[in-house]
Each structure stands twice: as structure tokens, then as C-alpha cells.
């Protein structure tokens, strides 16, 4: 049963309700290892599904273009205050619709079309919005890209410094979507200061780890910090931009009226709820467990002969290079999905294969940690992944189905926030 209940949806639109229930059952039965996903609490779900979705609020608290903000103003003020307190920043804008629009706002605030921007290359672990060619950010700006070293899979800070000195970017991006190692924010800040660039730290993946004290914070180093709220931070789909007081007005003007209309007040409320949850003492335990689980899973995978980019992980994320296993990333990910283990195919640094069928797999431990799995369960996950990849090579679908049954049996012992099977 869905929590909060969806009885009205069942009555009004049974087809749609059946799909929601099916998705909940899928999320319950699978070991969800997609590094950008999680399970939000029923409280976050309730805020997201509330009547706040009915309200228009263009502007900022106290300066709106619509009447009737008696409740929305305190909600947004509370969300921003909680963001400032949790991350220890001077300013927080909680209105961006998602991570990509938040990053676009940084361009609008600090650069002009045609300006040079320095970001991590997408196939090396960066994000589309850090200047990749198919993104507006790569088409309307002049992108320069850094990567990782071939020897150890770590970000090449010498390359970052050389590129920054030569190209004089307006904005330098750090943070990414497939970076299994700690981001060295002080080193990026030193380079940005030297060349007069704005340092933008995109902590979308690691925000929950930072909030829980399990990854160093960019605060005090980066001029502006963007983050999604729905990955390790475990809030609704949304984003925030945090900055020093100096940049507050530029950031706010870029979000509204620069890029967006009315903020999604139901999301703002849910962000406020998630930030309260992230400030509670048990959240630090969750963040530490996410990292401990990733370390245990990485060790168990390495023991089974999996080649891990950078040799392991410091955070929630593991990147596997499957080249030695004789199965490309896409068929492996599809086989794993059938085996009840949900992850995504991903490029690995210097990948000789094409992005839609790359050599790697990306996985993360945030969602299974929320379900309650601990380090002792990670060798079993590694065993299933190993068996499924071998079954994929042999196209042994019966073996995949056997693994899926074992996975579902384990996961059934761990409650899922937001849904429970009928008793």
C-alpha cells in the first residue's frame, strides 16, 4: 500500500494508479543501485503531493507578483534557512526546478554567451551542463574540458591548472556524475582564484554525504554551490543554489526572472522537510553507512576480479570497467535489471566504445542504505552482480531469473519508505 494512500487516484484513474503501484512494487523488490536515486520519506511524499501545488508565487518571500503568499512565504523562508544552517552558507536559493536549470542559472549569473568555461568532460565523469557539446552550455559558451589521469583514474589537477592558466575561463566547474573519489575543493579554489574565475561546485551527487559529514564541504572554497535535492540528500526532485552573500543577488536574479517563472511550492516544502531530516542526528549515520557500504561493495567486487575505475571509491559511487569481463555495459546492465539489480551503463574514462553502449557500469549505495542494508550485505550484492554478468555473457536468462528471486527475498526483509506490500 502506498504511503500516503492513493485511494482517490485508484478511484479516478485506475489505469494510472495501477502503474504507480507497479512501480512501487518494482522499487520494493529490486536492489536499486542507480547512483543518483534514493527513497524519500513518506513526509517528503506528503509535502510533494500537497495543495501547495495549486499556488503561484513568482518572486521571492516578501517580494511576490501574486497575492495570497501568507503561507508560501514562510515555507520558502524556512527551506532557505534550513539550507543555510545545514550547509553553513550565507545564501541559499531553493527555487531551481532541477539540477540542470540550477546550473544554467550559474551561467546566466556569471558569464555571457561565448565566454570560456572549464568543466569536467562528460565521458570522464562530468555532467552535460558543465559544457558538453550537445548541451546549451556547450553550444552557447566556449567549453574547455579536463579529465582524469589514465594511470589512476583521478582528476588531473595539473591539467586543470594548465587549462585554467591558458584559457582564462569565467567559470570553473567541479563535481560530476561519475566521480568515485573525493573532490579536492581547496585545490580547485586555488586555481580559480589565480585565474580570476568563479568556482562552481556541483555537489548534486554528494550533497547528502556533505550534509552528513561523510565528504568534505566546498563551503569556504567555492563561490557558488549547486545541488540537486533528490540524490544522496534524499529529498524531492529539485535543486538549490548556495553562495556567499556577495553573489546572492546575482544568483537570485538569474533564477527569477532570468530563467524561471513561479517556483514549485510543493517541491519547496518537500525540500524543507528533507533538509530537516538531513539535520537530524541519524542522517550522519546514514551518510557514513552509504560510504561504508560503497567501500564494502567495491572491495567485494574487486575480490571477484572487477576492474574499478580509480581502484575503488571514497563516496557512494562505484564505476566498473567491464572490458576484461567480455560483456559491454549495456547488455550487462539489462541482464542485471532482469536479475533484480538496477544500475546504469556508463562510459569509463578513455572509453573506446560509444556512449550508448559503453564499457562500464555505474552504481551507488544510497538507496539500498536507506532500505537498511549494511556492509555485511555487500558481498552478496557483489556475488549476484558477478553471477549476473557471467549469465549475461552466456545469455542464460534462467540464471538471471533465479538471481532476481534471491534479490527480492533479501529486499523483502527491508521496509521501503512510501510503500509496503499488502499484509
C-alpha cell at 22: 507497479
Supply the minimum distance, in Å, between the C-beta of residue 413 and ligand PLP.
Answer: 30
How many residues touch ligand PLP under the rule CB under 6 A: the total is 14
Taking the least distance from each CB to ligand PLP, the nearer of 204 and 243 is 204
**The one segment of 64-72, 97-105, 329-337, 415-423 that binds ligand PLP by CB under 6 A:** 97-105
**The one segment of 155-163, 200-208, 289-297, 331-339 that binds ligand PLP by CB under 6 A:** 200-208
C-alpha cell at 293: 557500504
Catalytic annotation on 112? Answer: no
Taking the least distance from each CB to ligand PLP, the nearer of 41 and 177 is 177
Q: Do 72 and 56 meet the contact criterion of CB atoms below 8 Å apart?
A: no
Spot the catalytic one: 25, 55, 161, 237.
Answer: 237
Give the whole-angstrom CA distance, residue 77 versus residue 71. Answer: 10
59 Ramachandran zone, left/alpha/beta (phi>0; psi -120 to 50): left
- 382 alpha-carbon distance from chain centroid: 22
Spot the catalytic one: 145, 231, 325, 362.
Answer: 231
Q: Do 318 and 364 meet the contact criterion of CB atoms below 8 Å apart?
A: yes
Residue 390 touches ligand PLP, criterion: CB under 6 A = no
Residue 123 touches ligand PLP, criterion: CB under 6 A = no
Residue 82 touches ligand PLP, criterion: CB under 6 A = no
Catalytic annotation on 276? Answer: no
Catalytic annotation on 37? Answer: no
Give the whole-angstrom CA distance, residue 355 versus residue 58. Answer: 39
Residue 316 touches ligand PLP, criterion: CB under 6 A = no
Taking the least distance from each CB to ligand PLP, the nearer of 59 and 131 is 131
Residue 364 touches ligand PLP, criterion: CB under 6 A = no
Spot the catalytic one: 177, 226, 228, 370.
Answer: 228
* Torsion angle (degrees, nearest 10) of CA 105, 110, 116, 122: -30
Catalytic annotation on 253? Answer: no
C-alpha cell at 162: 594548465
Taking the least distance from each CB to ligand PLP, the nearer of 205 and 266 is 205
DSSP assigned state of 421: -
Site string for ligand PLP, 35-54 (x = CB under 6 A): -x------------------
Among 204, 232, 265, 344, binds ligand PLP (CB under 6 A): 204
Among 129, 289, 313, 315, binds ligand PLP (CB under 6 A): 129
- DSSP state string for 201-237: EE-TTTHHHHHTTSS---TTT-SEEEEESSSTT---S
Give the whole-angstrom CA distance, residue 247 versus residue 252. Answer: 9
Q: Where are the beta strands (DSSP E) in 232-333?
A: 239-243, 307-308, 317-321
Residue 127 touches ligand PLP, criterion: CB under 6 A = yes
| Residue positions counted in the chain | 423
122 is in an annotated binding site: yes
- Element spanning 320, H or E: strand 317-321
In degrees and rounded to multiples of 5, residue 49 shows phi and psi of: -95, 20
Among 131, 138, 176, 364, binds ligand PLP (CB under 6 A): 176
Give the whole-angstrom CA distance, residue 378 versus residue 375. Answer: 5
Among 121, 228, 243, 293, binds ligand PLP (CB under 6 A): 228
C-alpha cell at 103: 546550473
* Binding positions for (6S)-5,6,7,8-tetrahydrofolate: 122, 126-128, 246
What is the set of active-site residues?
56, 58, 202, 228, 231, 237
- Where along the sequence are the contacts to ligand PLP (CB under 6 A)? 36, 98-100, 103, 127, 129, 175-177, 202, 204-205, 228
Amino acid at each position: 500500500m502506498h504511503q500516503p494512500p492513493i485511494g482517490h487516484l485508484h478511484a479516478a484513474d485506475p489505469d494510472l494508479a495501477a502503474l504507480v503501484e507497479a512501480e512501487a512494487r518494482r522499487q520494493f523488490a529490486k536492489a536499486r543501485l542507480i547512483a543518483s536515486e534514493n527513497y524519500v520519506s513518506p513526509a517528503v511524499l506528503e509535502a510533494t503531493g500537497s495543495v501547495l501545488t495549486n499556488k503561484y508565487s513568482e518572486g521571492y518571500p516578501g517580494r511576490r507578483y501574486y497575492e495570497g503568499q501568507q503561507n508560501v512565504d514562510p515555507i520558502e523562508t524556512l527551506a532557505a534557512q534550513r539550507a543555510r544552517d545545514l550547509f553553513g552558507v550565507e545564501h541559499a536559493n531553493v527555487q531551481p526546478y532541477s539540477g540542470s536549470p540550477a546550473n544554467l542559472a550559474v551561467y546566466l549569473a556569471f558569464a555571457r554567451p561565448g565566454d570560456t568555461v572549464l568543466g569536467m568532460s562528460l565521458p570522464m565523469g562530468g555532467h552535460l551542463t558543465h559544457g558538453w557539446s550537445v548541451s546549451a552550455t556547450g553550444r552557447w559558451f566556449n567549453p574547455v574540458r579536463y579529465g582524469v589521469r589514465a594511470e589512476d583514474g583521478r582528476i588531473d589537477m595539473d591539467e586543470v591548472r594548465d587549462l585554467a592558466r591558458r584559457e582564462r575561463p569565467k567559470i570553473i566547474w567541479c563535481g560530476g556524475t561519475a566521480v568515485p573519489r573525493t573532490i579536492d575543493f581547496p585545490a580547485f579554489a586555488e586555481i580559480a582564484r589565480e585565474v580570476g574565475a568563479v568556482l562552481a561546485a556541483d555537489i548534486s551527487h554528494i550533497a547528502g554525504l556533505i550534509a552528513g559529514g561523510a565528504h568534505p564541504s566546498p563551503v569556504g572554497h567555492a563561490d557558488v554551490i549547486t545541488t540537486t535535492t533528490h540524490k544522496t540528500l534524499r529529498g524531492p526532485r529539485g535543486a538549490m543554489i548556495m553562495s556567499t552573500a556577495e553573489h546572492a543577488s546575482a544568483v537570485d536574479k538569474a533564477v527569477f526572472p532570468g530563467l524561471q517563472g513561479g517556483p514549485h511550492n510543493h517541491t519547496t516544502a518537500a525540500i524543507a522537510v528533507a533538509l530537516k531530516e538531513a539535520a537530524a542526528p541519524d542522517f550522519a549515520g546514514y551518510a557514513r553507512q552509504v560510504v561504508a557500504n560503497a567501500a564494502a561493495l567495491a572491495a567485494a567486487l574487486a575480490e571477484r576480479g572487477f576492474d574499478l575505475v580509480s581502484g575503488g571509491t571514497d563516496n557512494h559511487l562505484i564505476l566498473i570497467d567491464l572490458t576484461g569481463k567480455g560483456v559491454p555495459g549495456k547488455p550487462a546492465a539489462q541482464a542485471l535489471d532482469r536479475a533484480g539489480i538496477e544500475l546504469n551503463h556508463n562510459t569509463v574514462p578513455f572509453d573506446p566504445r560509444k556512449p550508448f553502449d559503453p564499457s562500464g557500469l555505474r552504481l551507488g549505495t544510497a538507496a539500498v542504505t536507506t532500505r537498511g542494508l549494511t556492509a555485511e550485505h555487500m558481498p552478496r550484492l557483489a556475488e549476484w552482480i558477478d553471477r549476473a554478468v557471467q549469465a549475461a555473457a552466456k545469455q542464460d536468462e534462467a540464471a538471471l531469473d533465479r538471481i532476481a528471486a534471491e534479490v527480492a527475498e533479501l529486499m523483502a526483509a527491508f521496509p521501503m519508505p512510501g510503500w509496503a506490500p499488502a499484509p
